[in-house]
Amino acid sequence: MNMKVGLAQINPLWENRAATKAHILTLLEKNITPASVDWLIFPEMTLSGFSMNQEATTLDDSDVSFFRQLAQDYQTIISYGGVVDGKNGCFTVNANQEQVSRYEKTHLFSYATEDQYYTPGDKLTTFSQNEFQITPTICYDLRFANLFWQTGPQTDIFVVMANWPASRLAQWQILLKARAIENQCFVIGVNRVGADPNVTYAGGSGVFAPTGETLLEPAPKEGIFAVELSKQLVLETRSHFPFLKDRRVDL
């Protein structure tokens, strides 16, 4: 089974959810058509940028409806980020406007005081699409390999939505590739571009194969960048070199 994935590398308008929604509509109209991708993924805190201003980051009913309507209009599943119930989350909705997954960031970025404003999640979640088993994570989670090991053998795709700064972009790309190699699965990183009052972002979104090969490396600009993934590649990689069975998660 194959799946075409679209990475929405956007520049959100700082702490302005309404303006960012209008911007997203324009970007999608210019870049994709209904059913042209099976899955469309946005960066962390999609509508606001990475902010400790809970009034700006917390999604209301109209924001949730916006993404559900997008999924229906474009006949795809959509993963988007935002704050609900005081937690920084990744939410996935399908073309029937149903929520199919909700993940809450488990590792809060204390370096930027995120832990002082939000509550961490306490578990991973995996959902199925086009016969792929997909596990979402968020930004700072990427630094903690043990989190990925928990579900690695049962996961075909890890997705990492982020607001990862340009100053540490090289680390982001190395870590994405490492998680793909360690777990013999696809890893998708979706980052933003542009700048907020404190940080500059340089994109660096990408898709990595179970061998670590780079499958998609978009330019550092706004756009919807797509690639088709084959589950067969995960199966073949794990069959050819089955090292996951030797992993000691008990240590």
**Mean per-residue pLDDT, 50-66:** 99
Q: Per-domain residue ranges for the chain? A: 2-243
pLDDT score recorded for residue 249: 83
Model confidence at 28, pLDDT cuts 50, 70, 90, reads: very high
CATH classification number, 2-243, choose in 3.30.1490.150, 3.40.50.2000, 3.60.110.10, 3.40.190.10: 3.60.110.10
Q: What is the pLDDT of residue 250?
A: 85
Q: H-helix or E-strand containing 104?
A: strand 99-104
Rounded-to-integer distance, Cα 97 and Cα 76, Å: 10
The average pLDDT across 154-163 equals 99
Q: Are residues 194 and 11 in contact, defined by beta-carbon separation less than 8 angstroms?
A: yes
Q: Which two tokens stand for residue 227?
A: 């690639």
Average pLDDT for residues 149-169, to the nearest whole number?
98
Burial per residue of 27-55, b for 16 or more beta-carbon CB atoms within 10 angstroms, e otherwise = bbeebbeeeebbbbbbbbbbbbbbbeeee
Residue 231: predicted pLDDT: 98
Q: Identify which of 244, 229, 227 has the alpha carbon closest to the alpha carbon of residue 148.
A: 244
Mean pLDDT of the chain: 98
| Spatial distance between the Cα atoms of 183 and 151, rounded to a whole number of angstroms | 9
Task: Report the share of the chain in percent with pLDDT over 90.
Answer: 98
Average pLDDT over residues 121-143: 98
Tell me, what's the pLDDT at 36?
98
Note if the pTM is more than 0.85. Answer: yes
pLDDT beyond 90 at 33: yes
Q: Assess whether pLDDT exceeds 90 at residue 251.
A: no
What pLDDT sits at residue 162?
99
